[in-house]
Amino acid sequence: MSPDSKIRDGSLSARMFGLAGRFRDIDPQLTRVIVPWINRHPRYLAGFLRLVHTHAQSKRIRARMLADGLKVPPFFVLSVTSRCNLRCAGCYAAAVGTVAAKPARPGLDLSAWYRVVDEAIQLGVMAFLIAGGEPFLLPGIVNLFSDHPDRLFLVFTNGTALTQADYDTLKACTNTVIVVSLEGDRDLTDLRRGRGVYEKALGTLDRLRTDGILTGIAVTIGSANIGYWTDPHHIDELIAHSGPLAMFIEQIPTAGCDAGATLTDEQRRLFRQTVVQYRDRMTGGAFIIHSPGDEETLGGCVSAGRGFAHINPSGDVTACPVSALATHNVKSASLREALASPLFTLIRDNLHLLETEGHPCGLSAHALELEEMAEGLGAYRSGMSEAVSVEQQLISLS
């Protein structure tokens, strides 16, 4: 080995060691998963060093904002389009009107999403969870990621809509995680998502992995697939096809969801036990997120600006993607004004609204109570006329 090679290798090792230390400060489990992955994909090293620097910088900005009385979350969920090419059974986004064939109001265009992200960065937001609809149906969305290399983007996709141009741009990014939704094996996935979706989604995961793009999976856990996912072997098996992130989100009851589709208390307890045991035995594998199980350890949901907030396709700022209640829209208000809304303050001041209490979603479990409490705040249901009060909406729903 030449002296120059030794210097380069030594420098790389030092930077990896520094990165591992910074990740341990953020989350020790994340270190066990991400650092080995970056070691196999060294082009990500510089990008992740930039991200951990931004993490610290953003944290300081949020602290200054809080000192001035503004609670800014580290994450924002952006539902960037109401378009979707699938019709999944029990889809909560369709149930609250985020996904719609004929939206009640025009959606934000790409330039508007740029403005949202830029303003959020100024307030100290570190990361963006990109959802929809199907986000890759918004033309040019990948440019939003590549143009903000110092922010993390977790992109949730059904895995059927990526183009060659998307892959080309993503290969040059080191700040994205592409999370592909699956339900389990072929039968389970196609049962909920449609015939042939499993093959397309798995093909997308294989292509992303071949291109060296950081990936993960997202699974909606319900009565139909709980038996599959309580076997840790199946977690290992699917991780082998994807990447180091696995998100398990319990099915939320919706109007389009069969009464028996959600987990029973015993099934919820069993799956939580599976997740905890998998984490305990894990030496590599995947960084697992379980909702609402992980939220319960934090004292309930962290929406309404506690840990994240949500913007829907038409620009309404809501506490979370499952809540359709809003008081501000980014077309007519700043993000700062929206985060300071009396609605968010009301939710944070009444933390019982965020407690799951055996339900997969705190705000969903307390939806009617929240609407009644918010009657005097000028709140409206997203997608409906802003002139229609919550009280009038409750009458129309009764």
Angstrom distance (rounded) from CA 359 to CA 388: 29
Sheet of 245-250: strand order equals 287-291, 245-250, 215-221, 176-181, 152-157, 127-131, 75-79, 308-311, 316-318, 325-329, 380-381
- Does residue 137 contact residue 344 with C-beta atoms inside 8 Å? no
Residue 257's alpha-carbon distances to 91, 223, 344, 381, in angstroms, are 8, 11, 28, 21
> What is the DSSP secondary-structure string of 158-225?
-SS---HHHHHHHHT-SSEEEEEE--SSHHHHHHHH-TTHHHHHHHHHHHHHHTT--EEEEEEE-TTT
- For residue 292, give the 3-state DSSP assignment: coil
Stated as kind and residue range, the H or E segment containing 157 is strand 152-157
Question: In this predicted structure, what is the pLDDT of residue 260?
Answer: 73
Question: In this predicted structure, what is the pLDDT of residue 60?
Answer: 98
- Does residue 318 contact residue 325 with C-beta atoms inside 8 Å? yes
- Report the DSSP pairing between strands 308-311 and 75-79: parallel
Question: In this predicted structure, what is the pLDDT of residue 385?
Answer: 33
Torsion sign, CA atoms 181, 186, 187, 191: positive
The answer as to whether 249 is a domain residue is yes
Residue 16 corresponds to which tokens in the numbers above? 């990896």
The residues that bridge with 216 in the sheet, in sequence order, are: 179, 245
> What is the DSSP secondary-structure string of 74-134?
SEEEEE--S--S---TT-HHHHTTSS-SS-SSPPP-HHHHHHHHHHHHHHT--EEEEESS-
Angstrom distance (rounded) from CA 125 to CA 307: 10
- pTM for the model: 0.88
- Does residue 202 contact residue 158 with C-beta atoms inside 8 Å? no
Question: In this predicted structure, what is the pLDDT of residue 275?
Answer: 87
Residue 261 corresponds to which tokens in the numbers above? 């589709």
Angstrom distance (rounded) from CA 118 to CA 157: 23
The answer as to whether 256 is a domain residue is yes
Span 187-246, pLDDT tens digits: 999 999 999 999 999 999 999 999 999 999 999 999 999 999 988 888 888 777 788 888
End-to-end CA distance of the chain: 77
Residue 199's alpha-carbon distances to 83, 160, 210, 237, in angstroms, are 22, 9, 16, 15
Q: Domain of residue 180: give its range.
A: 75-296
**Interior angle at CA 28, CA 25 and CA 34, nearest 5:** 100
Stated as kind and residue range, the H or E segment containing 287 is strand 287-291
Question: In this predicted structure, what is the pLDDT of residue 185?
Answer: 94
Question: In this predicted structure, what is the pLDDT of residue 304?
Answer: 83
> What is the DSSP secondary-structure string of 304-327?
TTTSEEEE-TT-EEESSTT--EEE
Across the chain, which has 398 residues, the per-10-residue mean pLDDT values are 42 57 64 84 93 94 98 96 90 81 85 98 98 96 98 97 98 96 95 96 95 94 92 82 85 70 89 84 71 70 86 94 90 97 88 70 71 84 48 34
Span 325-363, pLDDT tens digits: 899 999 999 999 999 999 989 888 887 777 766 666 767
CATH number assigned to the domain comprising residue 120: 3.20.20.70
Number of domains composing the chain:
1
Torsion sign, CA atoms 119, 121, 125, 131: positive
Residue 72's alpha-carbon distances to 58, 120, 167, 277, in angstroms, are 10, 9, 32, 34
The answer as to whether 105 is a domain residue is yes
Torsion sign, CA atoms 96, 100, 105, 110: positive
The answer as to whether 339 is a domain residue is no
The answer as to whether 335 is a domain residue is no
Listed residue (83, 87, 99) closest to 138, CA to CA: 83
The answer as to whether 322 is a domain residue is no
